[in-house]
Amino acid sequence: MEHIVIIGNGISGVTAARHIRKQSDKKITIVSDETDYFFSRTALMYIYMGHMKFEHTQPYENHFWKKNRIDLKRGRVKTVETTSKTLIFENNESLTYDTLIIATGSKPNKFGWPGQDLKGAQGLYSKQDLDALEEMAPNNKSCQRAVIVGGGLIGIELAEMLNSRGIPVTFLVRENSFWNGVLPQGESEMINRHIKSHHIDLRLATNLKSIQDDGNGRVKSVIIEETGEEIPCNVVGLTAGVTPNIDFLKSSAIETDKGVLVNRQLETNIKGIYAIGDCAQQREAIGQRRSIEAVWYTGRMMGEVVAQTICGNPRTYNPGHWFNSAKFLDIEYQTYGWVFSEKNKPVYEAHFHWKHDDDTKCITVAFHKENQQFLGINTFGIRMRHEVFDRWLTEKRDIDFVIQHLSEANFDPEFYKRFEKDILKTYQNQFQNA
């Protein structure tokens, strides 16, 4: 019987296992050194904040795996020997496979800062990271200040978590405005103000120089690159992005770049070996998407695609129109299609921006300057319907149509009615009277 081994029990690996089982009786083994059972990584923050317990983040009962004949093995893979189709573990155990799926996810970036490996300096990605944070920052007596390095989505989550326990936070962001490599200026500046309104010490255009040791291998403080200022702290959150977790493949015959290189069928250079999720890198980027996408829903889609292919229904990975969602403290964020920041904006792209007076709600609509085609939308503090924007992007609607029909996309029509006139008026003032 064909033996399929999946390294990694995140959303990608588990989706692949479930869909292979739905369509076949192949032997399946999931390997992980993180946890015994799959859990929802995006919910880690809510455990720390007291909204849920760890077991609430496990979508399947523990007996689900046995019932579905999916074997679970706890262990860390040291090397993959592709000729003999064997995994060698750090404890020198081995496991053979017929088909291999690499779904090892990401790890937090470290940039060689002095002190980056001290106790108390950590990312927020794994269950182990959550356990370490619980140990180092249980309350504001044990942890009198935390410093977060890097202004992305994980950084803002960590700030919210620490804030929920009354732990003062200093947030070091290298850019001169929060996430301005992704967000247009008006949105980025609104998020700056929102972060500060939560009494978070946001330091823009500020770099970390080093993390200081208290003499016992723990974090004592950080030193700021630009000023030499020393900020005492007990925890340093390293949230300057993530990179594929593939160090164990460096000595193997599997081709890697930043991630594991795959084609549109998600297969590597070696027949019968696939890579999916955060650790997979498309040899050729799909449309305007990045070649590596550390996004929950694309990981799930890749798991479904690879399962079909392995079960004899070859599929091409086609993620469709870009979308994503996140939360900046109290402000929900959604994006559909492409809305580029000022520094990354193509010459043909123009923006319509509307912001509410309360400074917690705004939309930015991107469109083509010449033919007015709708290219994408960012929404903050307003929930929109994914399927509506997906359809409009496919139909190549123009911006006039989108603005006139925005109420159809709104999740909360009551809410939209309150702002409809203001959005229309702002749009007419910005463009139609120009």
Cβ-count burial of 61 within 10 angstroms (0-12 exposed, 13-18 middle, 19+ buried)?
Answer: exposed
pLDDT string in tens for the chain (434-residue length): 999 999 999 999 999 999 999 999 999 999 999 999 999 999 999 999 999 999 999 999 999 999 999 999 999 999 999 999 999 999 999 999 999 999 999 999 999 999 999 999 999 999 999 999 999 999 999 999 999 999 889 999 999 999 999 999 999 999 999 999 999 999 999 999 999 999 999 999 999 999 999 999 999 999 999 999 999 999 999 999 999 999 999 999 999 999 999 999 999 999 999 999 999 999 999 999 999 999 999 999 999 999 999 999 999 999 999 999 999 999 999 999 999 999 999 999 999 999 999 999 999 999 999 999 999 999 999 999 999 999 999 999 999 999 999 989 988 767 667 788 889 899 999 876 65
pLDDT value at residue 431: 79
In the block, tokens 């999740």 appear at 411
How far is residue 238's CA from residue 232's CA, in Å, rounded to a whole number?
A: 16
pLDDT value at residue 432: 65
DSSP state of 315: -
pLDDT value at residue 416: 65
Q: Which helix (H) or strand (E) holds 401?
A: helix 399-404
Q: What pTM did the predictor assign?
A: 0.95
How far is residue 286's CA from residue 288's CA, in Å, rounded to a whole number?
A: 6
pLDDT value at residue 266: 98
Q: How many CB atoms lie within 10 A of CB 134?
A: 11
- Look at residues 386, 374, 381 and name the one whose alpha carbon lies nearest to residue 358: 381
Q: What is the dihedral of CA 298, 303, 305, 307, to 10 degrees?
A: 180
pLDDT value at residue 411: 87
- Region label for 329, one of left (φ > 0), alpha (ψ between -120 and 50) or beta (otherwise): left
